[in-house]
Amino acid sequence: MSRVGKNPIEIPGDVQVSIEGAIFTAKGKLGEISHRVSDSVTTSLEEGKLSIRPVDESKTARAMWGTTRSLLQSLVTGVSTGFTKDLEINGVGYRAAVQGNTLSLQLGYSHDIDYPIPEGITIACAKPTAISISGANKQRVGQVAAEIRAFRPPEPYKGKGIKYVDEVILRKEGKKK
């Protein structure tokens, strides 16, 4: 049994939710996001709470129960408060700056890397070594953060590269004489 799926989703006052057939739409101050709900589950909205139930007791219906609940919770949270991923740059001469609709990265290569900022995503650089990525769609925020991190992943010997703020890099000892 799904323990995640049993909990109803609380809908905040500033979020409007509509269910039309298999399309779930959440609209809030940060935008509007739609998601197609699986046929294995049913959704019902009553008194500001959204409940998800499996259609039958099949393995797929039970699997989609918790998954659908998590996805719809992410939509509601995204349009009301949004999601943020923070990246940290370590390395001498490594820095980032936002120039218009582009993120310019200097990561020790012979050239600068210009990353076009996708629509619906906001990138801010409070200092040259800190990047903050925010948006309403949890999946897109994580994908953009992963793409930026992939330009120079952290290496284990000196710790140079781009890493998530809460990421721990296991350091290795260099070679001995």
Question: pLDDT of 40-55, one tens digit each?
Answer: 999 988 888 999 999 9
pLDDT of amino acid 2: 60
Q: Is 67 left (phi over 0), alpha (psi -120 to 50) or beta?
A: alpha
Point out the domain boundary residue: 80, 101, 117: 80
Point out the domain boundary residue: 48, 80, 112: 80
19/91 same-domain check: no
Question: Which residues share a beta bridge with 97?
Answer: 104
CATH of the domain at 94: 3.90.930.12
pLDDT of amino acid 48: 86
Q: Residue 84: what are its φ and ψ, rounded to 5°?
A: -135, 135
The reply to whether 159 falls in a domain is yes
60/47 same-domain check: yes
Point out the domain boundary residue: 26, 45, 80: 80
pLDDT of amino acid 81: 93
The reply to whether 171 falls in a domain is no
DSSP letters spanning 101-164? TEEEEE-SSSS-EEEEPPTTEEEE-SSTTEEEEEES-HHHHHHHHHHHHTTSPPPTTT--EEEE
The reply to whether 96 falls in a domain is yes
The reply to whether 72 falls in a domain is yes
pLDDT grade, residue 176 (50/70/90)?
A: confident
The reply to whether 2 falls in a domain is no
Range 100-113 average pLDDT: 95
Q: 43 is in which domain, residue-wise?
A: 9-80
The reply to whether 98 falls in a domain is yes
pLDDT digits (tens, 9 = 90+) for 52-94: 999 998 999 998 999 999 999 999 999 999 999 999 999 999 9
Question: How many distinct structural domains can be found in the chain?
Answer: 2
The reply to whether 169 falls in a domain is no
48/117 same-domain check: no
pLDDT digits (tens, 9 = 90+) for 118-175: 999 999 999 999 999 999 999 999 999 999 999 999 999 999 999 999 999 999 998 8
27/44 same-domain check: yes
153/89 same-domain check: yes
93/133 same-domain check: yes
